[in-house]
Amino acid sequence: MNREAMAVSVGNNFDEYEEYGLSVWSEIGLTAQQIHAKYLQRYPRARASTAGKIRALGYELKPTHGPGHYDIIFLDEPNDTDWDKLDKAFDIALRYP
């Protein structure tokens, strides 16, 4: 969860869709490892959280771009407080085979 890369991603999302959104993947009933195998195989590591943790921080999870894909929606351009909150909501990076 490199902040600079996330800020670029959120900025690109705003430029294209006029809302600050950060891409995440989720599917009810799947574990983080299963989600990684299904959607994120190109990445050797990923961090995991839950929809409940993200919503508890006050962020919306909006379904976007097809099955399993969501955006964490920010009302304004994310700042260091937003990034700190998200960092604490996600587990340490997990390695997947």
Q: Note the pLDDT of residue 65.
A: 86
The pair of structure tokens assigned to 49 is 């959280």
CA dist 75 and 14 (Å) reads: 11
Q: Note the pLDDT of residue 2.
A: 85
Of the candidates 97, 85, 71, the one whose C-alpha atom is nearest the C-alpha of residue 10 is 71
- What mean pLDDT is predicted for residues 38-66? 92
3-state secondary structure of 21: strand
How far apart, in Å, are the Cα atoms of 8 and each of 1, 2, 35, 54, 82?
A: 12, 10, 24, 20, 15
- What mean pLDDT is predicted for residues 78-90? 95
Average pLDDT, the chain: 92
